[in-house]
Structure 1
Amino acid sequence: MKLTEVFITEHGGVYQSDSESCWYVDFAGKVARFDYRCLLKLKKAVYTIDVEAILLKSNKSADIEIVFICACDDSYVLTVMEIVRFKELLQGTFTMLELNHIIYDRLHRLAV
C-alpha cells in the first residue's frame, strides 16, 4: 500500500491512499482510516468545537472533548491543546486538497 503525504505537522499527519480511495489520519497516538465522507464529518465535528468556551468554563469541568463521528468507526478524546492542533492539521489538509484540485483543474484546462 502506497501512502501519499497530504499534510503533516509536528503533532500528526494525513496521508492519502489512492489504491484504497481513503485517507489515514495519524493523530493523538493512533492512525485512523477515513473515506472522504467521514473525513468531511471529522472536519465538521472538530471545527464546531468552541475552544474559547471550553477555556472559559469553570474549573469544575474537565478540559476535554469527545469527538464521535456517526457512521465512522473512530472517535477521539482530546484535550484543548489537542483540539487546537487537530484543527490545524485538518485545516492544512483541506487546504492542500483544494490546492491540488485547483492545480489539476488548471493543468487539464490548459491541455484542452
Structure 2
Amino acid sequence: MNLLFASKYYASYQSTEDRCFYLDFGHKMVKLSFCQLLSLRYKAKQLSSHDNLEYMLNHADVTLLTFCDKEHVVLLDTLQVLDFAELIQGTFAMMELNSVLAI
C-alpha cells in the first residue's frame, strides 16, 4: 500500500495489487473502490459546507458519516469533519499528481 495523503487525524492509501483504496480512521481501516471514494468526496463537500458547519456549531456537536452502502459508520465532530474534507481533497489531488507524473 502506498500512502496517498495524511491529515491530522486520518490517512489514505492506494493498493495497486488490490486495485482499491484504504482510509485509515485511526480505529478502523476501510477498503474502498474508486466509485465509493467519489461518493465520499461528494459527502465531504456537503459536510464541510458553510451551512452544515454552522448547524453543527449551533445545534449539534457531532455528525454521522455513513458510506459503502451503510456498511461503515463514523462519528465526527466539527474539527474531524474539516480534517476529513482535507483528507479527501488531498487524496484526489495526490491521485491527479501521480497520474501526471506517470505520463
- What is the TM-score normalised by the length of structure 1? 0.78
- Aligned-pair identity in percent equals 27
Indicate conservation of the 8 Å contact 1:15/1:24, yes or no.
yes
Letter paired with 2:62: I
Secondary structure of residue in 1 paired with 2:47: coil
Per the TM alignment, residue 28 of structure 1 is displaced from its structure 2 partner at its CA by 5.3
Q: Which moved more, 1:71-80 or 1:81-90?
A: 71-80
Which has the higher mean CA deviation after the structures are superposed, 89-98 or 49-58? 49-58
After TM superposition, the runs of 4+ consecutive aligned structure 1 residues lying more than 3 A away are 54-60
Query: 1:10–1:56: structure 2 CA closer, same or farther, 3 Å change rule?
Result: closer
Q: Structure 2 length as normaliser, TM-score?
A: 0.84
**Number of aligned positions between the proteins:** 103
**Aligned CA distance change for structure 1 residues 75 and 11 (closer, same or farther; 3 Å):** same
How do residues 74-85 of structure 1 correspond to structure 2 at under 5 angstroms?
74-85=72-83
- 8 Å Cα contact 2:21/2:34 also seen in 1: yes
Unaligned runs of 5+ in 2: none
Structure with higher Rg: it is 1
Indicate how the Cα distance of structure 1 residues 31 and 59 shifts in structure 2: closer, same or farther if over 3 A, else same.
closer
Q: What is the aligned partner in structure 2 of residue 73 from structure 1?
A: 71
Partner of 1:108: none
**Paired position in structure 2 for 1:12:** 10
Q: Which amino acid aligns with 1:11?
A: Y
- Between the two structures, name the one with larger relative contact order (CA 8 Å, sep ≥ 6): 2
Give secondary structure in 2 for the equivalent of 1:48: helix
Following superposition, the deviation at residue 8 of structure 1 comes to 1.1
RMSD: 2.2
